[in-house]
RNA sequence: CGGGGCGUGGCGCAGCCUGGCAGCGCGCCUGCUUUGGGAGCAGGAGGUCCCGGGUUCAAAUCCCGGCGCCCCGACCA
């Protein structure tokens, strides 16, 4: 703010010759402030207060270490570009520092989140990352493998929090007494720690990250539903404002057995999740249901008929040899709920034979839910022992209970093909029900082209989960004793919800969604600066004076300006500007002076524009730039 | 946990198989030139070749052990 005021004062006093003055009054050398891009040619050798206050910034004094080449081991677009653009640096596996420009972007995402949560009446607080282990024992989450555990010097057990349900619930348990104290919405923005098995893709999946977590506390299920709805409102606005392409999808409630959940998914190539999409339908592939595409089944037969299929153990081989579509096969997937190494008896007791169409895949999440917990495929030797020769097992005559995917029945009557439970033999003309008993469930993974519940064809896209909302119910309030007295003075358990957003994922998803060959292209709402002003010509040249003047005028017009006042070539400056991806680039060069037109580039699409440079009022051009900026995505 | 790969100057890499001066490109520093798409010339700085042990006259290179990082799969409240 100080900087801007100084600006105005200056411009009023000495219009048109900003070049020899500065906004602040501090000498770079005197402050000791330096940066990789500082060169000796900064006019006046000063630094601007914008470095500190965020309004305007001279690149010559800013820590923005850009790289021409990405790290060799980086795959994801966001990983490569965020490192190249000087936004983040890796410290260890899944551990990242945010450099100043990157942190500005992160903070903009956080700012949007904060505003929208405040707007629904949620109250910000802060809770520690380092916590006593005891509440985690009470909630049962001490057993989670991703939880970092440690001891202090006295040997007390501690954890590094991955989320803050336990602590926030304890605070509420301690202080909320009456139904009059509810509902309550609390949130915090805090570092979270997870001992990830495999951190990956830059800042997309890390071991330490900042997360916004909200928690709602209500009297009953209806209250929870209302709090949940308020968060949907806030979240929809947050992701709209962030400029991302996003979907709110139905999600699995997970092992914690919640009452309902949605995820906010931003489609992008580096996404770890998949979303099934159709007009009016969006779901995580983990939970998506759809009508399968039809398959042309062979005609029914009076009884199964054994056919020789020597050496043919895959769906493709068998389908090809018998001249039937892959979808006419019954694929057998034997699983057990017994741990590895368990005695054969318990392996057998927990075993099921899961059957899906030959052209379908088992959805592990659905199967987990169906089996209510852990399961694993049988090992080859267990298959041989309990089911039949691997490659030739099938439901007919099997000693294992059969779980049949619903799509088989929906494919209509016909003669199915399956393994005969004998070496080198399959059966054709098989009919579920007549030839084997089964339990029917939705167990398959939907495929592109399937028909959604509302009758539309599905597509499947990779996406990154940028947020989630979850109806916890009494999952934490019960073990941690968060109760209140109702109107009748009866003790009731509080109903909770939890709601997360990863700002770093918003940032990375934005990079992924809008990057092009030249680099990042930020949505206006996230960009580290609104506009990058590129000064061409050698120091002291007339275009440098123009640049200095524009720098002040653009800032006064309300834009956050990154001013490339470095002493490098035009090519390097243009390339760096496009790499960093501010929405608008303004060029102060000889051409501008000669043509009386200011050249602009809209980063998204790299479209060129001009605004008149010469008019009655000196700052008109800057105002025109600001106006153009306000129309950008 | 299964599979694959990589650690050499700030970044990207060669050298390793077949032991013998530690190199290349970019970047960085100084000077001059240049200034609208990653400039030119000249000079220069910068290395625990991931760590430890072993073999050898001699180890970036061979052997043993460890650590770190990446990718694929599994896993992911």
Over chain A (633 residues), the average pLDDT of each successive run of 10 is: 33 33 34 36 36 62 85 82 89 87 94 96 94 88 85 84 92 90 94 85 88 94 93 96 90 67 88 83 81 82 82 78 81 77 72 82 78 72 73 80 82 82 82 80 82 84 90 89 90 93 94 90 94 89 87 90 89 91 92 87 91 78 89 93
Per-residue model confidence (pLDDT) at position A425:
83
Per-residue model confidence (pLDDT) at position A56:
63
The Å distance, CA of A572 to C1' of B44, is: 24
Q: Which residue is nearest to nucleotide B75 (CA to C1')?
A: A197
Per-residue model confidence (pLDDT) at position A1:
30
The Å distance, CA of A97 to C1' of B61, is: 35
- In strand B, which positions have an atom below 7 A from any protein CB? 1, 5, 11-13, 25-27, 29-30, 34-39, 68-77
Name the nucleotide with the smallest C1'–CA separation from A519.
B38
Which CATH superfamily, name and number, covers A107-290+458-507? Bira Bifunctional Protein; Domain 2 (3.30.930.10)
Cβ–Cβ under 8 Å, residues A598 and A608: no
Local structure of A264: helix, strand or coil: strand
| Residue A145 exposed, middle or buried by CB count within 10 Å (0-12, 13-18, 19+) | exposed
Chain A window 92-111: residues with CB closer than 7 Å to nucleic chain B are: 92-95
Residue A162 beta carbon within 7 A of nucleic strand B: yes
Local structure of A10: helix, strand or coil: helix
Per-residue model confidence (pLDDT) at position A198:
80
Per-residue model confidence (pLDDT) at position A31:
36
Residue A90 beta carbon within 7 A of nucleic strand B: yes
For residue A174, what are the contacts with CB-CB under 8 A and spacing of at least 6? Answer: none
CATH 3.20.20.140 fits A305-441, yes or no: no
Residue A576 beta carbon within 7 A of nucleic strand B: yes
For residue A336, what are the contacts with CB-CB under 8 A and spacing of at least 6? Answer: A347, A348, A350, A351, A352, A375, A376, A378, A382
Q: How far is CA A338 from CA A332, A343, A348, A371, A400, in A?
A: 18, 8, 8, 12, 14
Name the nucleotide with the smallest C1'–CA separation from A73.
B70
Per-residue model confidence (pLDDT) at position A51:
40
Angstrom distance (rounded) from CA A482 to CA A553: 56
The Å distance, CA of A572 to C1' of B48, is: 35
Q: Which residue is nearest to nucleotide B1 (CA to C1')?
A: A197
A273-314: pLDDT as tens digits: 888 888 888 888 877 888 888 888 888 888 888 888 787 777
Name the nucleotide with the smallest C1'–CA separation from A500.
B77
Classify residue A422 by its DSSP letter. S
Domain boundaries, chain A: 2-65+529-629, 107-290+458-507, 305-441
Which CATH superfamily, name and number, covers A2-65+529-629? Anticodon-binding domain (3.40.50.800)
Per-residue model confidence (pLDDT) at position A373:
67
Name the nucleotide with the smallest C1'–CA separation from A589.
B36
Name the nucleotide with the smallest C1'–CA separation from A79.
B70
Alpha helices (H) along A432-587: 477-480, 503-514, 542-556, 570-580
Angstrom distance (rounded) from CA A568 to CA A534: 11
- Interface confidence, given as ipTM, is 0.87
A504-549: pLDDT as tens digits: 999 999 999 999 888 999 999 999 999 999 999 888 888 888 888 8
Q: How far is CA A104 from CA A51, A86, A525, in A?
A: 12, 12, 11
Query: Could you give phi then psi for residue A96, rounded to 5 degrees?
Result: -135, 140
Chain A window 423-452: residues with CB closer than 7 Å to nucleic chain B are: none
């Amino acid at each position: 703010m100080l900087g801007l005021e100084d600006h105005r004062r200056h411009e009023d006093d000495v219009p048109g010759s900003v070049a020899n003055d500065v906004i602040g009054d501090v000498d770079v050398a005197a402050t000791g402030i330096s940066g990789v891009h500082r060169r000796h040619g900064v006019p006046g050798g000063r630094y601007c207060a914008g470095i500190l206050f965020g309004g305007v910034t001279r690149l010559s004094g800013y820590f923005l270490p850009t790289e021409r080449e990405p790290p060799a081991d980086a795959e994801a677009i966001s990983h490569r570009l965020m490192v190249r653009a000087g936004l983040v640096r890796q410290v260890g596996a899944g551990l990242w520092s945010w450099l100043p420009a990157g942190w500005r972007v992160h903070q903009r995402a956080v700012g949007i989140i904060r505003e929208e949560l405040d707007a629904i009446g949620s109250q910000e607080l802060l809770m520690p990352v380092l916590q006593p282990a005891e509440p985690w024992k009470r909630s049962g989450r001490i057993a989670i493998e991703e939880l970092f555990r440690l001891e202090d010097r006295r040997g007390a057990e501690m954890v590094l929090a991955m989320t803050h349900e336990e602590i926030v619930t304890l605070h509420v348990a301690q202080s909320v007494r009456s139904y009059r104290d509810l509902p309550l919405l609390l949130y915090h923005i805090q570092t979270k720690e997870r001992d990830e098995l495999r951190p990956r893709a830059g800042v997309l999946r890390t071991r330490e990250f900042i997360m916004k977590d909200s928690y709602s506390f209500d009297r009953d299920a209806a209250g929870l539903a209302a709090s949940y709805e308020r968060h949907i409102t806030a979240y929809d606005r947050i992701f709209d404002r962030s400029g991302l392409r996003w979907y709110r999808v139905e999600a699995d409630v997970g092992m914690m057995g919640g009452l309902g959940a949605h995820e906010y998914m931003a489609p992008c190539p580096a996404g770890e999740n998949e979303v099934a999409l159709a007009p009016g339908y969006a779901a995580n592939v983990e939970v998506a249901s759809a009508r399968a595409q039809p398959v042309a089944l062979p005609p029914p037969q009076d009884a199964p008929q054994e056919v020789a299929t020597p050496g043919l153990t895959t769906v493709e081989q068998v389908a090809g040899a018998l001249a039937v579509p892959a979808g006419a096969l019954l694929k057998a997937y034997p699983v057990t709920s017994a741990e590895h190494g368990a005695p054969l008896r318990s392996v057998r007791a927990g075993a099921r034979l899961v059957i899906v169409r030959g052209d379908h895949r088992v959805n592990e999440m659905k199967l987990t839910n169906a089996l209510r917990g852990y399961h694993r495929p049988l090992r080859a030797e267990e298959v041989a022992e309990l089911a039949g020769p691997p490659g030739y097992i099938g439901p007919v005559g099997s000693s294992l209970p059969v779980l049949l995917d619903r799509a088989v029945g929906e494919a209509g009557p016909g003669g199915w093909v399956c393994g005969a439970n004998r070496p080198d033999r399959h059966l054709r003309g098989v009919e579920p029900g007549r030839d084997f008993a089964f339990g029917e469930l939705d167990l398959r993974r939907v495929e592109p082209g399937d028909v959604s519940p509302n009758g539309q064809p599905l597509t499947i896209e990779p996406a990154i989960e940028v947020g989630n909302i979850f109806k916890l119910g009494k999952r934490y309030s019960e073990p941690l004793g968060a109760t209140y007295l109702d109107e009748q003075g009866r003790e009731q358990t509080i109903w909770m919800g939890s709601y997360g957003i990863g700002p770093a994922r918003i940032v990375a998803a934005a990079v992924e969604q809008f990057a092009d060959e030249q680099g990042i292209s930020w949505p206006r709402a996230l960009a580290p600066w609104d506009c990058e002003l590129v000064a061409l010509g050698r120091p002291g040249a007339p275009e440098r004076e123009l640049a200095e003047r524009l720098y002040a005028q653009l800032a006064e017009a309300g834009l956050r300006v990154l001013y490339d006042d470095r002493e490098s070539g035009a090519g390097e400056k243009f390339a760096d500007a496009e790499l960093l991806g501010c929405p608008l680039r303004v060029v102060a060069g000889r051409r501008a002076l000669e043509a009386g037109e200011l050249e602009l580039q809209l980063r998204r699409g790299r479209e060129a524009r001009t605004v008149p440079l010469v008019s009655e009022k000196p700052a008109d051009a800057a105002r025109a730039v600001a106006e153009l900026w306000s129309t950008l995505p």
